[in-house]
A and B are shown apart, each in its own frame.
Chain A
Amino acid sequence: MTDARLSDFPVDDLISREALADERGLGDVVRQVIFGRISTQVAFFVVVVFIVVAILAPWIAPYDPVRQSILQINKHPSWDHWLGTDQFGRDVLSRMIHGSRNSLIFGLLSPVFAAFFGTILGVSAGYFGGIVDRLISRIVDMLMAFPELLLAILIAAALGGSFWNIVVVLTVAFTPGFARVARASTLAVKQEPYIEAAVAAGVSTPLIIFRHIVPNIAAPIVVLMTLWSASSIRIEATLSFLGIGTQPPNPSWGNIIRDGLSNMFATQWPIVAGGLAITIVVLAISILGDSVRDVLDPETAR
């Protein structure tokens, strides 16, 4: 029957180098994100600065963040203490610098974990439907019914407030949100003719999910991730504020604000510094998230 084979069909062997070089790799995506809009460049710069500061904390902090000094309590900013000192005479700038480690790790780690688990759950529920969907969706609903802060407090109270416990707490608290978004997006994408076309081309179910569905629902997940990393820093701050997050005397932005609040009539600088740092990082991450979403979508990327 089919006498003609595709290999018989004349092809010039030349594959143009340009065509090969033109493909958009991960590097290009990253470059497009960073060198996109001015606001994105600024946001990227801000995030990088904060990360560098967090990494270099022990070397650049001018003082030991937990060393107290009765002679130096409640100082306003000076050349010796750029952000002043708190009620125990600890240098606020040093505490902020060391605190950025805890806050940023919580801010970035939990949303990434939650996005990972949430996407798996959501895509499974959306794609397979039926009993899988009902099971996952009900569990997600149950978790969603708790405000994430309450859930976090509950788990932290039960497990105690160690570093990994808080990461676990926040991951569990955020996973339902990701699962729900992933499920809804999967339901929408599943209806697209290109999914049916892929099935008709003989693509197997795992490949359909990883090559055709996950990339197409990535945009909302990434946006949610940046949104939650902001919330994560905030919730860690709240947990620390409530005394179940980062344990004193170790600093985090959250417990710097807590300590500052009880002492705000003596010196306002710890609250101002902590609040500003959280605001700036959260804003920068959100702007980056928007930009990542735009670049991931080829229609808006050009």
Chain B
Amino acid sequence: MSEALLDIKDLTIEFGSGSQPLRVVDNISFAVSLGETVGIVGESGSGKSMTALSVLRLVPEAARVSGQIIFEGRDLLKLPKREMPAIRGKEIGMIFQEPMSSLNPLMTIGDQIDEAIRLHEDIPAPERRKRVLALLRLVGMPDPENRLSAYPDQFSGGMRQRVMAAIAMACNPKLLIADEPTTALDVTIQAQVLAMMLDIRARFNSSILLITHDLGVVAEICERVVVMYAGRILEDADARSLFSNARHPYTQGLLRSVPTLNDTRKRLYQIPGSVPPAGTIKAGCPFRPRCSVRMERCAVEMPPLRTYDPGHRVACWATAEAAA
């Protein structure tokens, strides 16, 4: 593994105060290397979006964030607040889940992309205009010259997501965080947006941190996958070995519940139960109530992430026992 661009260490995010704070992210560590695409998968409430937001220090002010988020050798959590705007958009770009409402309805898309450039780079207007056109072309906007003065409501969701991507890429960031970029889009548009992201990565060699609950999306573009559940990392592996050799019972369950084309099953597999609300798991493995291979030890102690093959970490007592 090459040098880490983003290194998250012991990240914990808690809401509320007093003796019983709600832990939405519990002591997670993972890294994103230069040029690598890492996917964070998990159900709703697994803490994946919070993790993404915390990198840009966008978590709500009520939250307490501890640990380290090291980006290019600097701990972002220790930076003074006023230095964050210089990182947001310039070093780290972000694409959001709701393309329909992530653009200012009163500004033309040309102005909005232009703003993203002007914030971080001191270049004259004609140069910026060229860059805006280049960005729109990069994200696959047809006929960009005539779209500059269009307002967001004139675009479909997929087109708006392209504009969002253009804004995120405006200053050529080293890391692109995409928080469920395809969730609100229909399937064909999803494919186009994914193709666009692959294209961006190929051209700029940017690292991408992709937050999603869609394993298909992960299989499509990610090199490494982090599986989160109830604020914890359960499995962290490269995409190939995750899909061929998932070791955590949760990941196995997720993969079994994906329908395939030559499926003969009458009913799709589902993992029984649902994600426990944040803060209800006091001790042990959060997945234990839904786990088919649970052991007594799981109720007492959270299994640590253990490395099996190189680059394949799993947090499960049953897996550990089977391997022993």
A-side residues, CB < 8 A to B, are 1-7, 9-16, 18-19, 22-24, 192-194, 196-204, 207, 211-212, 215-216, 296-299
Distance in angstroms from A227 CB to nearest chain B CB is: 22
Contact B85 A204 (CB under 8 A): yes
Interface residues of B in 155-169 (CB under 8 A from A): 164, 167-168
**CB within 8 Å for A19 and B58 given contacts A13-B130, A197-B167:** no
Residue-by-residue, is B235-277 near A (CB-CB < 8 Å gives 1, otherwise 0)?
0000000000000000000000000000000000000000000
Contact B115 A4 (CB under 8 A): no
For the complex of A and B, list the 5 residue pairs with the smallest distance between their C-beta atoms, beginning with the closest: A202-B89, A202-B88, A201-B89, A200-B94, A298-B151
Distance in angstroms from B124 CB to nearest chain A CB is: 13
Contact A298 B145 (CB under 8 A): no
Contact B130 A11 (CB under 8 A): yes
* CB within 8 Å: A-B pair count: 129
Q: How far is the CA of A6 from the CA of B105 in the complex (A)?
A: 27
Using CB atoms, name the residue of chain B closest to A201.
Answer: B89
Residues of A within 8 A of B89 (CB): 200-203
User: Which stretch from B133-141, B226-234, B284-292, B299-307 is at the chain A interface?
Assistant: B133-141
6 interchain pairs, CB-CB under 8 A: A1-B205, A3-B205, A22-B149, A193-B101, A194-B102, A201-B88
Contact A200 B58 (CB under 8 A): yes
Distance in angstroms from B261 CB to nearest chain A CB is: 35
Residues of A within 8 A of B206 (CB): 2
Distance in angstroms from B96 CB to nearest chain A CB is: 5
Residues of B within 8 A of A6 (CB): 131, 134-135, 138, 172
Using CB atoms, name the residue of chain A closest to B179.
Answer: A200
Residues of B within 8 A of A297 (CB): 105-106
Residues of B within 8 A of A15 (CB): 126, 129-130, 133, 145
Distance in angstroms from B74 CB to nearest chain A CB is: 16
B-side residues, CB < 8 A to A, are 34-35, 56, 58, 84-90, 93-94, 96-98, 101-108, 115-116, 119-120, 126, 129-131, 133-135, 137-138, 145-146, 148-149, 151, 153, 164, 167-168, 170, 172, 174, 203-206
Q: How far is the CA of A24 from the CA of B102 in the complex (A)?
A: 22
Q: How far is the CA of A193 from the CA of B84 in the complex (A)?
A: 19
Using CB atoms, name the residue of chain A closest to B202.
Answer: A4
Using CB atoms, name the residue of chain A closest to B117.
Answer: A6
Q: How far is the CA of A211 from the CA of B87 in the complex (A)?
A: 20
Contact B146 A196 (CB under 8 A): no
Contact A202 B120 (CB under 8 A): yes
Contact B205 A4 (CB under 8 A): yes
Residues of A within 8 A of B108 (CB): 23
Distance in angstroms from A142 CB to nearest chain B CB is: 28
Contact A18 B146 (CB under 8 A): yes
Using CB atoms, name the residue of chain B closest to A214.
Answer: B106
Distance in angstroms from A162 CB to nearest chain B CB is: 40
Distance in angstroms from B27 CB to nearest chain A CB is: 25
Using CB atoms, name the residue of chain A closest to B136.
Answer: A11
**CB within 8 Å for A11 and B133 given contacts A19-B145, A24-B149, A196-B96:** yes
Distance in angstroms from B12 CB to nearest chain A CB is: 22
Contact B137 A11 (CB under 8 A): yes
Q: How far is the CA of A97 from the CA of B115 in the complex (A)?
A: 49
Chain A CB within 10 Å — which of B87, B89, B146, B168 has the most? B89
Distance in angstroms from B178 CB to nearest chain A CB is: 11
Contact B131 A196 (CB under 8 A): no
Distance in angstroms from A192 CB to nearest chain B CB is: 6
Q: How far is the CA of A13 from the CA of B86 in the complex (A)?
A: 29
Chain B CB within 10 Å — which of A1, A7, A215, A297 has the most? A1
Distance in angstroms from A299 CB to nearest chain B CB is: 5
Contact B172 A2 (CB under 8 A): yes
Q: How far is the CA of A196 from the CA of B146 in the complex (A)?
A: 27
Distance in angstroms from B76 CB to nearest chain A CB is: 13
Q: How far is the CA of A1 from the CA of B2 in the complex (A)?
A: 12
Q: How far is the CA of A202 from the CA of B89 in the complex (A)?
A: 5
